[in-house]
Chain A
């Protein structure tokens, strides 16, 4: 079974899926990412799927799983580079990937993460309260 590499860049983890994943590979990635988030203390995860020519319900579910797990571990996940044909197919399939942030490419994904983090810290300064939930910013 092949494994998808996880790269650390600054405060972020970058995953670029370049292979047609078996279901096991996808589950392994979910585990690896959880481990790496804890080990590195990173606050952002970028998953680049621009090389994937399909996303089926299993991969979709795994991506959603990764997003929820990393949120619990205080890291925000952004899925970037989804191809138009894949997006159209997902809409038809009825899979809307709730809870997943998306951006058009890695660069925009990194901007999105930086913005979220900035908003978090800004909120902290104003309120001086660690427990305040930051309202989700709705920009893509």
Chain B
């Protein structure tokens, strides 16, 4: 029973805040623990900022999911930006092409249960993360 998702266009700083608030609301609704809520919202904040800064804007879609045993949340971050050429580098702690700390991708991956990335140079980036209730 994977429900209908809610979609937010990410084109500015305010939109990143709106993504955080939406993810928080849905996380509370599926009854994630406080620590898991915090981890998921933090990961969403990192990835939404990446969508904005590196992808040149895009969309974020938040969906309630259920794998039959427990509920969870799935978030898809999609952009039509330049894509990522070297994924291994992108996942290295401290590596950045911008002026961040280089913890966005690698850090966000540690904060969620499932992390999928589809990207190619010139073809944009799509990242799907899932967090399950314990």
Q: Tell me, yes or no, whether A107 is within 8 Å of chain B by CB.
A: no
A73-102 with Cβ < 8 A to chain B: 83-86, 88-89, 92-95
Kindly list chain A residues whose C-beta atoms are within 8 Å of the C-beta of B20: 20, 54
From residue B66, how far is it (CB to closest CB) to chain A in Å?
24
A86 vs B37: C-alpha distance when bound (angstroms): 10
Q: Tell me, yes or no, whether B14 is within 8 Å of chain A by CB.
A: yes
Q: Tell me, yes or no, whether A57 is within 8 Å of chain B by CB.
A: yes
Q: Do residues A20 and B21 form an inter-chain contact, with CB atoms below 8 A?
A: yes
Interface size on B, residues (CB 8 A): 27
A60 vs B21: C-alpha distance when bound (angstroms): 19
3 closest residue pairs by CB, A with B: A93-B107, A85-B38, A22-B13
Q: Tell me, yes or no, whether B16 is within 8 Å of chain A by CB.
A: yes
From B38, B93, B110, give the contact of A54 (CB < 8 A): B38
| CB-nearest residue of chain A to B14 | A22
Instruction: Give the A-binding residues of B (Cβ under 8 A).
Output: 13-14, 16-17, 20-21, 24, 34-35, 37-39, 41-42, 45-46, 49, 93, 100-101, 103-104, 106-108, 110-111
From residue A83, how far is it (CB to closest CB) to chain B in Å?
8
Kindly list chain A residues whose C-beta atoms are within 8 Å of the C-beta of B42: 54-56, 89, 93
| CB-nearest residue of chain B to A90 | B42
A21 vs B16: C-alpha distance when bound (angstroms): 10
Q: What would be 22 A-B contacts, judged by CB atoms less than 8 Å apart?
A: A20-B21, A21-B17, A22-B17, A54-B42, A56-B45, A56-B46, A57-B100, A58-B45, A58-B100, A83-B38, A85-B35, A85-B38, A88-B38, A89-B39, A89-B111, A92-B107, A92-B111, A93-B42, A93-B46, A93-B111, A94-B103, A94-B107
From residue A84, how far is it (CB to closest CB) to chain B in Å?
8
